[in-house]
Amino acid sequence: MSMRSQIYEWNGLAPSSSTGNFTSANAGRATSIFIGGFGNNITKPAETTATEFVVIEDIACTPTLPATSTAATLSANYRGQLEGFTPGNGLLGPRAFVQVRINTTDYFLDPDNVANDGIPGSASPYPRSLDFQPSFNLYPDVYVLPGQVWDILFTGYNNGSWGATTGADLYAFTKYTLYDGPDALIANKLLEMGISINPGNVDWYKRSLLSAQGM
Amino acid sequence: MSMRSQVYEWSNLASSGNSTLRRTTSDVPVTIPKDREIDIFIGGYGNNITKPAETTATQFIVIEDIACSPWLGGSVQIRINTTDYFQNPDVTRQRGIPGLASPYPRGSPSSVAVAGTALDYSVDNLLKSFDLYPDVYVLPGQVFQILYSINTAMNGTTTEVVAAFVKYTLYDGPDALIANKLLELGVTINPNNVDWYKRSLIEQQTRAAMAPANGGA
């Protein structure tokens, strides 16, 4: 099991008293979905060891629908997954973004080369539904090399009442493949060769080695 | 990280005045005029960036998708330097791709309004009728704009929130040089083909290194 498909789902509702619920009071601040102190967290920062290689293949978060400036005073909410959100600032939803950070470098930039908030949930929604379908595909994938620290940062800007107190779920999601041991070495070799790192190409490299040995 | 997938999302939300450089929690909708093309990067409405979108001498951009809110007759146009990409069959100007053809978010209703104290939206879920293929190339040193326009006036008292979206891949450094080479060769520029070109170079170098060892054969 040296190539493993992995996912991590973050929910703003805290599973225990160890962390707090993520609410609109935390709006405007980039928060790590791994160790940010809100919702479900893990025990230490996400990082690769010397024998690991991670390929991030998808990131997504709760979407938002633009509405009208009077949405905050409206009595009716939107359908589907945004049903629990109380509208604010003309928006239905958290106006959320997710950014990938490798060590100290943010992956997504504005055209003026300034780091931005990342991928909007409206472009890469989680969960996907008829109401919200993806406009964004993380391709090429993002590589986390051995020894690097990586993070997924969630930022929501809508200051309407949302989060745990309203029963509205707030999600972020990442899908990645973890290459470990010999497969991580092969992943490094593929990187040197300019070949995309995916399970198919790692298997192809293994078969090439075996054929070179006459097997 | 010299090939990077990037997105830019614009909406008519600003904290003070008509535009803002950073999103804040106090952003509110601003009214945008109808029948005027607004640059989503530096147009002076909603969230903007610090300077026009342009590529340096070592950058190459491939625009892969554009979309916008379908209501109010919203459309998006791409302008490279001073040339509009989408034009009418008689080679006259047009407003670009309608939000009804390329909606953002995908699956959103075709109209959003207020009826009394209730949010009134159509019950449809719009899907895209348009796919930006072939992609649009922004060569090194070029300026590009994404222009958003509406043809129905916003309601002054219940200002509608609208958004536009662009997805592109930024090739930087050596990968931008390869992108230029692929352009010369007439090969589509995408991450797969850039990787293919790199592998070809490596194979050529390997063969060249092996040739003297084989007596030049």
Q: What is the pLDDT of residues A123-177, one digit of tens each?
A: 999 999 999 999 999 999 999 999 999 999 999 998 766 655 555 678 999 999 9
Identify the residue among A112, A128, A138, A190 best suited for mutation to test binding to B, counting B beta carbons within 10 A and taking the highest.
A112
Burial class of residue B17, CB neighbours in 10 A (0-12, 13-18, 19+): exposed
Q: Which residues of A touch B1 (CB under 8 A)?
A: 102, 105, 107, 142-143
ipTM greater than 0.90: no
Give the pLDDT mean for B29-57. Answer: 95
Closest residue in A to B197 (Cα–Cα): A194
Chain B 106-145, residues with CB within 8 Å of chain A CB atoms: 106-108, 112-114, 117-119, 121, 125, 127
pLDDT of residue A135: 95
Alpha helices (H) along chain A: 182-193, 199-212
Q: Which residues of B touch A111 (CB under 8 A)?
A: 6, 8, 41, 49, 53-54
CB contact under 8 A, A68 and B3: no
- Closest partner CB to A129 (pick from B107, B161, B192): B107
Percent of chain A with pLDDT over 90: 62
Alpha helices (H) along chain B: 174-185, 191-213
Q: Which residues of A touch B108 (CB under 8 A)?
A: 65, 131-132
B6 CB within 8 Å of a chain A CB: yes
Q: Quote the pTM value.
A: 0.91
CB contact under 8 A, B104 and A159: no
CB contact under 8 A, B105 and A111: no
CA distance readout (Å), A85 to A163, B23, B75, B114, B160: 8, 20, 28, 17, 18
- Closest partner CB to B199 (pick from A90, A134, A195): A195
pLDDT of residue A136: 95
B85 CB within 8 Å of a chain A CB: no
Burial class of residue B120, CB neighbours in 10 A (0-12, 13-18, 19+): middle
CB contact under 8 A, A159 and B26: yes
pLDDT band of B212, cuts 50, 70, 90: low
Q: Which residues of A touch B54 (CB under 8 A)?
A: 111
pLDDT of residue B215: 59
Least confident range of A43-47, A154-158, B183-187: A154-158
Least confident range of A22-26, A38-42, B37-41, B191-195: A22-26
- Phi and psi for B106 in degrees, rounded to 5? -65, 135
A166 CB within 8 Å of a chain B CB: no
CB contact under 8 A, A109 and B170: yes
Chain A 127-156, residues with CB within 8 Å of chain B CB atoms: 129-140, 142-143
Contact A155, A96 (CB under 8 A): yes
CA A51, chain centre distance (Å): 23
pLDDT of residue A167: 53
Q: What is the CA radius of gyration of chain A?
A: 20
Distance from CA of A156 to the nearest CA of B (A): 8
- Residue A185, pLDDT above cutoff 90: yes
- Residue closest to A176 by CA, chosen among A143, A136, A148, A147: A143
Q: Identify each DSSP E strand in B82-176 by its residue range.
A: 83-84, 97-98, 112-115, 118-121, 136-138, 144-149, 163-172
Contact B163, B9 (CB under 8 A): yes
Beta strands B112-115; A31-32: pairing state = unpaired
CB contact under 8 A, B51 and A112: yes
- Residue A18, pLDDT above cutoff 70: no
Give the pLDDT mean for A94-98. Answer: 94
Distance between terminal CA atoms of chain A?
A: 22
pLDDT band of B147, cuts 50, 70, 90: very high
Q: What is the dihedral of CA B38, B43, B47, B50, to 10 degrees?
A: 150
pLDDT of residue A87: 67
B29 CB within 8 Å of a chain A CB: yes
CB contact under 8 A, B49 and A74: no
A158 CB within 8 Å of a chain B CB: yes
- Residue B30, pLDDT above cutoff 70: yes
- Mean pLDDT, chain A, whole residue set: 88
B63 CB within 8 Å of a chain A CB: no
pLDDT of residue A168: 63
Interhelix angle B191-213/A182-193, rounded to 10 degrees, is: 90
Collapsing DSSP states into helix, strand and coil, what is residue B133?
Answer: coil
Closest residue in B to A58 (Cα–Cα): B5
Give the pLDDT mean for A15-23. Answer: 74
Least confident range of A59-68, B169-178, B185-194: A59-68
- Closest partner CB to A66 (pick from B28, B50, B69): B69
